[in-house]
Amino acid sequence: MGLAQDRRWMLVRPDGRFLTQREEPQLARLVPRLEPDRLVLSFEGAELALPLDDRGASIEVVVWADRIEARAPDPEADGLLSRWLGRPVRVVRFPDTAHRPCDPAFTPAGARTAFSDGFPLLVTSATSLAALNAVITARGGSAVPMARFRPNVVLDGLTAWAEDRTRGLVLASGASLLLVKPCARCIVTTTDQETGERLGTEPIRSLQSLDRDLAGEGPCFGWNAVPRLPVGPIRLRVGDPVALAA
């Protein structure tokens, strides 16, 4: 399902529907920190801790068209986060027993994810970001940091947009990631990930000028990825060599 504990937590509306930075950009200021036995959330000088297990009341939640049986572990945390956001929310966990398959039109049988939009991993390229920022600054804008795209895996040392011309990656462990679908970008990429502010139309405008609509869903940056199955636990380290698959 991707990196350990990643996309295993989510805020939902009272009806169980998922809530993201698309609707609430200040969620960028909700900062998670993993500790050995808990998840700590920091916001506005406050902290709350949630257990890394499946305790809590059962609740059906909705991510796009998928209905998932989740766990709501802490009503007190719900209240704290609701007061901070100024709207009622609940914090939920994707339990170990849940199963949410990826879209079979793009992924092999058995691929699954948790609370992500649709795929467990997002791969981007530092050189592609540099090429995009060259366009943004030439248009009089300010370069955007990689955090705007919220990737899991960032590649370096490629030519710009080389990720568009490969089917996957071979990791240092020998395991492989399949690049299954270009990632169409939304308003979240215009949001400062430290302040929660919307900052205009970049990088969307410049991606549009580069004709980056690779999937018929809008301008793309980065690729959604899944592990090639079967696969066991994989350890990723910053600086690991990665080869492009044919």
pLDDT at 125: 98
Angle 23-7-197 from CA coordinates, rounded to 5° = 35
- In this structure, the strands spanning 153-155 and 121-125 are parallel
List, for residues 37-63, the tens digit of each pLDDT value. Answer: 999 999 999 999 999 999 999 999 999
What is the predicted pLDDT for the residue at 246?
A: 73
Quote the CA–CA distance of 29 and 31 in Å, as a whole number.
Answer: 6
pLDDT at 230: 85
pTM here? 0.95
Q: Convert 89-119 to b/e letters by CB count within 10 Å (16 or more is b).
A: bbbbbbbeebebebeeeebeeebbbbbbebb
CA atoms within 13 A on the CB side of 43: 17
The predicted pLDDT at position 76 comes to 97
Token output for 213: 């609509």
User: Cβ(12)–Cβ(120) under 8 Å?
Assistant: no
Task: Give pLDDT < 50 ranges for the chain.
Answer: none
Residue type present at position 214: L
pLDDT in tens, 179-215: 999 999 999 999 999 999 999 999 999 999 999 999 9
Which pLDDT score, from 0 to 100, does residue 232 have?
A: 85
CA distance 182 to 212: 10
Say if CB 27 and CB 199 are below 8 A apart. no
> How do 220-227 and 176-184 pair as beta strands?
antiparallel
